[in-house]
Amino acid sequence: MVIGEWIRVGRIHTAALTMPVTLLGYVLAGGSDALTGLGWLLFGLGWHYFGFLQNNLFDLKYDRIDPEKQHFPLVRGAIRARDAWAVDVVGLALLFVYGAALSGFSPSSIAAMATGYASGTIYNAYSKRTLLKPIPIAVCFSALPAIPYLGIRGPDYLIASLVAFVFTTILYQIGYSGELKDIERGERNILRALGSPTLVYLYACSLKIANIVAGVALLEQLEPKDVSSLVAVVVVAVVIIFVLERQLDDYDMWRDGKWDRRAALKNMSLMEILSYWYLVVCLMPVLGLWSVPWIVLPLLWFIALNRFIFGTTIYPKV
């Protein structure tokens, strides 16, 4: 079905994280209008969809020779590359205008959006050829909450803390999880470049610890803090450290010739979900009981879209 192929090519299963992170920027800035909030959710979905469509187009020559990606719509020829390019260019242009209008044409929001567009394009064009790949994509996605936030309030420590959290989350997801997922591919790989297991362990742990600290810095900005929110933060942080250990074990399995890419993908997805949950519990002083739907609804989206796109429950075939 043609519509199904166009849904698959944008890999919107992980828009379960992109959309609420965008909306969080609006909520933390004091936004309360439901229709505007829905508008920002749709903006986050568009940012995710057209960004990943562009990524698939730039990666097409690599995906065609990757046995794990023969099911991708562009690889199978279910969607023509020229059609996808046309949709992506027009879609990104319209999304930019839409985001600018939604922010009230705030110069700061437009600047954040332009920065995200540029850095995302740099990542998509050069990620297979540089070891610096985690940086531009981290900039791209950390710009998302800043766009609605800056349309209401100016830059301050609160949005800086949220941006830092998203930035460190993506650094780990792309710089360690993503590199581990593709460690057997021919592209340049940070983990292979580090070589020493000790350096890999230090690298992965430093990225995730920075992310945990960024969450604490975000929580510190919010009032009122209570025991339940502090306990939730500690519990999720401990679980994150446990999954980090599992991901380090995945690296050891690759070194020992016992590589299980499917298991690594499951742990990667689990870490991605937990990192988002950690953000939500850090924001419990603001979200209160709304923390529950903020946690549950993205998970349901992630599972439902994984089933539709890949026929799996928790791990995507990417």
In a domain, 294, yes or no: yes
Tell me the average pLDDT across 244-261.
91
CATH number at residue 261: 1.10.357.140
Is residue 253 within 8 Å of 260, Cβ to Cβ? Answer: yes
Q: What whole-number distance in Å separates Cα of residue 203 and Cα of residue 197?
A: 10
Question: Domain tally for the chain?
Answer: 1
Q: pLDDT of 112-146, one tens digit each?
A: 999 999 999 999 999 999 999 999 999 999 999 99
Kindly report which listed range (101-110, 140-149, 205-214, 264-273) carries the lowest average pLDDT score. 264-273
* Residue at 56: amino acid letter: N
pLDDT of residue 1: 56
Token output for 192: 């292979």
In a domain, 209, yes or no: yes
Q: How much is the mean pLDDT over the chain?
A: 93
For the entire predicted model, the pTM comes to 0.94
pLDDT band at 110 (very low <50, low <70, confident <90, very high): very high
Q: pLDDT of 43-75, one tens digit each?
A: 999 999 999 999 999 999 999 998 888 989 999
In a domain, 315, yes or no: no
In a domain, 101, yes or no: yes
In a domain, 165, yes or no: yes
Q: Which residues contact 29 (CB under 8 A, 6 or more apart)?
A: 148, 149, 150, 151, 152, 153, 159
pLDDT of residue 92: 98
Q: What whole-number distance in Å separates Cα of residue 259 and Cα of residue 193?
A: 18
In a domain, 122, yes or no: yes
* Residue of 138, 142, 139 whose CA lies nearest to 173: 138
Which sign, positive or negative, has the C-alpha torsion 121, 124, 130, 132?
positive
Tell me the average pLDDT across 136-160.
96
Tell me the average pLDDT across 1-11.
86
In a domain, 220, yes or no: yes
What residues make up the domain containing 46?
A: 2-310
Most distant pair of Cα atoms in the chain: their distance: 55
pLDDT of residue 307: 87
pLDDT of residue 314: 75
In a domain, 316, yes or no: no
